[in-house]
Amino acid sequence: MQLTDQEIERRKSLEALKDLGVNPYPSESYEVNAFAKNIKEDFDPEKEDFKDVRLAGRIMSRRIMGKAAFAELQDSTGRIQLYLNRNNLAVGDDTSAFNEVFKKYTDIGDFVGVQGEVFTTKTGEISVRVKEFTFLAKALRPLPVVKTDEDGNVHDAFSDPEMRYRQRYVDLVVNPEVRETFRKRSMMIRTMRNYMEDAGYLEVETPILQPIYGGAAARPFKTHHNTLDMPLYLRIANELYLKRLIVGGFDGVFEFAKDFRNEGMSRFHNPEFTLMELYVAYKDVYWLMDFTEKMLEQVAVALHGSTDVKVGDHIISFKAPYKRYTMFEAIEEYTGIDISEMDEAALRQTAKDLHVPIDDSMGKGKLIDEIFGENVEEKLIQPTFITDYPLEMSPLAKKHRNKKGLVERFELICNSKEIANAFSELNDPIDQRQRFEDQLTLGKRGDEEAMQLDEDFLRALEFGMPPTAGIGIGIDRLAMIMTDSPSIQEVLFFPQMRPEQ
């Protein structure tokens, strides 16, 4: 490993600390009783509080001024100024360690613990007068420290997206707003979980390794189990297992699942992603639209205090009710073409006329989906339910109660992307078998995303599944909207990347 000059100097400092009897990586716990944010919010110089505080975090800046120094400590809540003086600073039992430890061998990025009292400087800044200083971890690589010159120009900002995603640990240290994105993501999931639990539904876990992949139209990752000598697949969805639990007698089950699809990568796609799926017995897709609206209202209010969310140049309102189009209505609205009665040949010609990329493997449903995706989806900014999909597109959805050739399904489109997909679930095992067989035919035509025939799932349906409503919500895409993030990589701690050169 080739070391830079700074890394060599830090390793020298490490050895010097050891020679002084300072353990740069102590084993003992360091008890913290205060945080930067709380001190800044609650400190009152007129009161006798914060006389003995203990904080821990990283040194983010330091200014040596002869016998004294100022430094900035960053903990999980923010930053606070430290004041250190040679005459009253101790490092362990050493009361003369200001020069030997802090001044010479402490670097930006080091983890330290400090004990002292809070006071206000002459310039009015709330600070900690440090009496005791403890090394907690020596940083052997320098952090990219942002500097602003006299003209206001920023230098050395850690802003290159590829570097930020590869070294998320550095990104989180030097770009505090990134941590806020992930706090909001966590709050979003917690709000959804509480909403579903309050409705009486059970959170469950289902297999990630599956002998037959199903529940979505996607290409899987394949692996091999040595002991069983059989292929297994990373799940592309958890739908078929959750429906088995409805067969088993649960009235409502949901799962926040890591799913995996061996597909392309983009601002909106990562091969590993999080999907929340919910299945509720004795309900249908129309009930589920109302349920979904109310849940997303709560999420917006929890994160933003309002149902209005700023996303790029748009203000997106999550206030119910949302606009509802059938798929054919939406296509006609934005293309002027009614495709509702077209056969496959006519759809193929219409796609060509609209300059929609297609290939010979695409059946009727896939052609309609491509026409919609190319001409409608990008125009739907406000949350919009697209309903009444063609049967060919939805092998797991129940046939429409009133409209022949369609199914009871909706997708929720927001900010030009699908964020949810829902059905009145197909519970007729004979119909379901025929749908699976139709998918096998598409697979033979070259459709790599066609579904497999799952005999065990069909057997479960033959034992009887009640009428059921089911939905999958893309957590990463919803997080992009709720945190105003332009790419899926911004809301994943560790997105998939090409090998580092």
DSSP 28: S
Range with lowest mean pLDDT among 92-106, 215-229, 315-329: 92-106
Instruction: Please report the beta strands in 87-186, taking only residues with DSSP state E, as ranges in sequence order.
Output: 111-120, 126-137, 147-148, 154-155
Alpha-carbon span 87 to 207, nearest angstrom:
62
In this prediction, residues 105-131 reach a mean pLDDT of 95
- The H-assigned helical ranges of 26-123 are 36-42, 97, 104-105
One DSSP character per residue, 193-258 reads HHHHHHTTPEE----SEESS--SSS-PPPEEEETTTTEEEEE-S-SHHHHHHHHHTT-SEEEEEEE
Give the contacts of 232 (CB within 8 A, at least 6 positions apart).
209, 210, 211, 222, 223, 224, 225
- pLDDT confidence of residue 400: 96
Alpha-carbon span 351 to 248, nearest angstrom:
44
Contact 143, 97 (CB under 8 A): no
Residue 225 sits at φ, ψ, to 5 deg, of -95, 115
Residue 483 has pLDDT above 90, yes or no: yes
Label residue 222 left, alpha or beta by phi (over 0 means left) and psi (-120 to 50 means alpha).
beta
Instruction: Report which secondary-structure segment, H or E, holds 469.
Output: strand 468-474
Give residue limits of the domains in the chain.
5-143, 181-206+237-322+382-491
In this prediction, residues 262-287 reach a mean pLDDT of 95
In this prediction, residues 36-47 reach a mean pLDDT of 93
- Over residues 439-470, the pLDDT tens digits come to 888 777 777 777 788 999 999 999 999 999 99
Neighbours of 80 (CB within 10 A): 27
Residue 96 has pLDDT above 60, yes or no: no
- Over residues 296-314, the pLDDT tens digits come to 999 999 999 999 999 999 9
Residue 328 has pLDDT above 90, yes or no: yes
- Over residues 254-269, the pLDDT tens digits come to 999 999 999 888 999 9
- pLDDT confidence of residue 148: 60
Name the class of domain 5-143.
Answer: mainly beta
Beta strand 78-85 pairing with 147-148:
unpaired
What is the architecture, at CATH level 2, of domain 181-206+237-322+382-491?
Answer: 2-Layer Sandwich (3.30)
- Over residues 197-213, the pLDDT tens digits come to 999 999 999 999 999 99
- pLDDT confidence of residue 146: 64
Question: Tokens standing for 345?
Answer: 């040949």
Q: How confident is the model at residue 49 (pLDDT cuts 50, 70, 90)?
A: confident
Of 114, 112, 117, residue with least CA distance to 128: 117
Average pLDDT over the chain, rounded to an integer: 93
One DSSP character per residue, 264-321 reads --BTTB-SEEEEEEEEEET--HHHHHHHHHHHHHHHHHHHHSSSEEEETTEEEE-PSP
Beta strand 126-137 pairing with 147-148:
unpaired
Q: How confident is the model at residue 149 (pLDDT cuts 50, 70, 90)?
A: low
Question: Tokens standing for 165?
Answer: 């995603």
Residue 408 has pLDDT above 80, yes or no: yes
Q: How far is CA 191 from the centre of its chain?
A: 14
Is pLDDT larger for residue 239 or for residue 366? 239
- pLDDT confidence of residue 122: 92
Of 106, 74, 71, 102, residue with least CA distance to 176: 74
In this prediction, residues 402-423 reach a mean pLDDT of 96
Residue 122 sits at φ, ψ, to 5 deg, of -65, -25
Alpha-carbon span 277 to 185, nearest angstrom:
17
- The H-assigned helical ranges of 20-76 are 36-42
Alpha-carbon span 312 to 429, nearest angstrom:
45
Contact 458, 243 (CB under 8 A): no
- pLDDT confidence of residue 388: 95
Range with lowest mean pLDDT among 19-23, 91-95, 135-139, 267-271: 91-95
Alpha-carbon Rg for the chain, nearest whole angstrom, is 29
Label residue 332 left, alpha or beta by phi (over 0 means left) and psi (-120 to 50 means alpha).
alpha
Angle at 392 between CA 382 and CA 449, to 5 degrees: 85
Q: What's the Cα-to-Cα distance from 446 to each of 34, 234, 325, 359, 417, rounded to whole Å?
A: 62, 21, 31, 10, 26
Residue 409 has pLDDT above 90, yes or no: yes
Q: How far is CA 168 from the centre of its chain?
A: 14
State whether the Cα torsion 490-492-493-495 is positive or negative: negative
